[in-house]
């Protein structure tokens, strides 16, 4: 077993004590993949529970948060499969990034424009194929490195780069189709690998 990161929990008990630290990070990932807040919360809770039960399987080959994100992705995938099987519709939920809309220093016009932009981004993400939404969420929103995505998604680096490129292109097309302007949304600070 390799050395764990200095900030990684060393025991299941320590993980349990630090659960509140990890819960918002896991929930944020789940909400960006599953646009139904209740299902996202269930997936996040299941993620933390499974991680606690299987803590002894964490080998330290990646950071603890990367390992936890991989479990969250699996939980989200299972939740989405259940939705498809039951033919339920996923409702569009606000992204946590909308906190900036509540900034009292912003004027009414900029708040309206920002709200419309966020709504268009949310709608665009909700109509994208799941695999693209997952890659964009992890790479561009959560700012995970390609090395972390290799571990989380279990795909080769080249595949992830290609999926990220196709996802960004698909996002732009769908975003513009919904009335968004391409110059208002940057899909990645790291778009050129």
Query: Measured between alpha carbons, how far is 83 from 117 in angstroms, rounded to an integer?
Result: 28
Residue 189 has pLDDT above 90, yes or no: no
183 token code pair: 């110059």
Give pLDDT, residue 37: 83
Higher pLDDT, 188 or 179: 179
Give pLDDT, residue 57: 86
Query: Measured between alpha carbons, how far is 40 from 38 in angstroms, rounded to an integer?
Result: 5
Counting Cβ atoms within 10 Å, is residue 81 exposed (0-12), middle (13-18) or buried (19+)?
A: exposed
pLDDT per position as a tens digit, 71-122: 998 898 888 877 765 543 333 343 434 444 445 555 555 555 567 777 788 7
CATH 1.10.1740.10 fits 1-93, yes or no: yes
| Mean pLDDT across the chain | 75
Give pLDDT, residue 90: 34
CATH number of 95-193: 1.10.10.10
The boundaries of every CATH 1.10.1740.10 domain in the chain are 1-93
Give pLDDT, residue 139: 84
Q: 155: which residues sit within 8 A by CB, 6+ positions away?
A: 149, 163
pLDDT per position as a tens digit, 121-134: 878 888 888 888 88
User: Does residue 25 sit in helix, strand or coil?
Assistant: helix
The boundaries of every CATH 1.10.10.10 domain in the chain are 95-193
126 token code pair: 């909700």
37 token code pair: 């807040």
Angle, CA of 27, 29 and 35, to the nearest 5°: 85
**Averaged pLDDT for residues 131-154:** 85
**Residues 81, 24 contacting (CB under 8 angstroms):** no
Give pLDDT, residue 151: 84
């Amino acid at each position: 077993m390799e050395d764990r990161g200095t900030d990684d929990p060393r025991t299941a008990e320590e993980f349990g004590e630090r659960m509140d630290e990890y819960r918002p990070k896991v929930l944020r990932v789940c909400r960006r993949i599953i646009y139904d807040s209740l299902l996202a919360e269930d997936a996040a809770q299941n993620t933390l529970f499974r991680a606690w039960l299987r803590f002894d399987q964490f080998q330290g080959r990646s950071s603890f948060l990367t390992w936890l994100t991989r479990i969250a992705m699996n939980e989200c995938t299972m939740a989405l499969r259940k939705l498809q099987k039951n033919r339920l519709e996923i409702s569009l939920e606000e992204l946590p990034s909308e906190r900036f809309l509540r900034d009292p220093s912003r004027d009414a016009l900029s708040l309206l424009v920002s709200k419309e932009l966020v709504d268009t981004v949310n709608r665009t993400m909700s109509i994208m194929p799941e695999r693209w939404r997952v890659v964009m969420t992890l790479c561009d929103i959560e700012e995970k490195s390609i090395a972390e995505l290799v571990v989380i998604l279990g795909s080769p680096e080249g595949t992830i780069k290609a999926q990220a490129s196709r996802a960004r292109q698909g996002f732009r097309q769908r975003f513009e189709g919904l009335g968004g302007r391409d110059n208002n949304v940057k899909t990645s600070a790291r778009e050129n690998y």
